[in-house]
Amino acid sequence: MSTLLLTRSEIETLLDVPALLPALKEGFKSYTQRTIPAQRGRSLLPKEGSSTTLLYPGLMTGIPAYSVKVHAKFPNENHAIRGLIHLFNSETGELLAVLESSYITAVRTGIASALAAHTLARQDARTVAVIGAGVQGRWQIRALAKLRYIKQVLVFDSSPFVAGRFVAELAREMDVKLVPVNTLAEALIDADIILSATWSRSPFLYSGMVNEGAHISTLGADELGKAETSGDLLEQSLLICDDRDLAVLQGAVGNVGLTAENIHAELGEVLSGHKRGRQSDDDITVFASVGLAWQDLVAAWQVYQTALEKGVGERLEFLE
């Protein structure tokens, strides 16, 4: 059986973003019943500041395939994430498809963050702060705007030029007031929802900086040595993660010296009703995400099925 090869530009035309949102929501619910724990391997590359991340296998009930993603992160490059998702038949091991990884990773991560923010934020939360005006910030706002009305987005980045470009780009596609700000304090002063996705290796969100009743989605601490939210802020918050073990081993929780005891629930437990999310309008809620391989599988399987229907992609026989 030949393998389907799909480029980033092809995936952009094939991925159904609105349909992916309910699929990921159901995926989080299903993940709470997992029998195989998430696994993640990481190895260093010689280039300073880069890393290679290997995600072993992405599994999801109802999908007759598994995925393995290999990608590397290069923060100073134009395309900061480069890699491939390999999609295998789970019965035979046949390699069904090889897909460029960065677009799927950005979209599914943004949707997961927005889903958590919408679930955990106050119902009347309307002002959003975006910390880190990169690709991930764009997808978080795009997804959140499909879930709830947003009155204003305050955008902060260490580079004012990057923040301005972010605002100019999204202003062309969204009917939302977008404002670039010069300081982190300006972004936070009125924020009901804080969406953070940076390369930071030390916390910059501390207790006392965040409004009472606010929600934070922190995506930057997705591997060892990275942190955006301080331990004292997490300790006083209602802390939700995507995977308890990974959040402690190499995520926002363990990276600031906290343990599983500080975690209230996984997002899937809240979505399925097994655990309660926000307790009151005064709670500060935090969603700490490392990103999970099954999300790649759900998105890649959707893309693969659509590619077969439309006849998109090139084929290669690796066993020739």
Instruction: Give the start-to-end residue ranges of the domains of the chain.
Output: 3-105+294-316, 120-291
Q: Give the rounded percent of residues in the chain with a pLDDT score beyond 70.
A: 100
**Closest-CA residue to 111 (of 184, 42, 26):** 26
92-96, long-range: CB within 8 Å, 24+ apart, which pairs? 94/1, 95/3, 95/318, 96/1, 96/3, 96/4, 96/65, 96/304
Query: What are 95's two structure tokens?
Result: 């390699």
pLDDT tens-digit series, residues 105-161: 999 999 999 999 999 999 999 999 999 999 999 999 999 999 999 999 999 999 999
Is CATH 3.40.50.2300 correct for 3-105+294-316? Answer: no
- Residue predicted with more confidence, 100 or 54: 100
| pLDDT number for residue 1 | 80
Residue 47 pLDDT > 80: no
Give CA–CA dist 220/269, Å, rounded.
Answer: 22
Residue 80 pLDDT > 80: no
Mean pLDDT of 297-320: 96
At the top level of CATH, the class of 120-291 is alpha beta
Give CA–CA dist 95/86, Å, rounded.
Answer: 7
Q: Is the CA virtual torsion 6, 10, 12, 16 positive or negative?
A: negative
Give CA–CA dist 214/230, Å, rounded.
Answer: 15
| Residue 82 binned pLDDT confidence (cut-offs 50, 70, 90) | confident
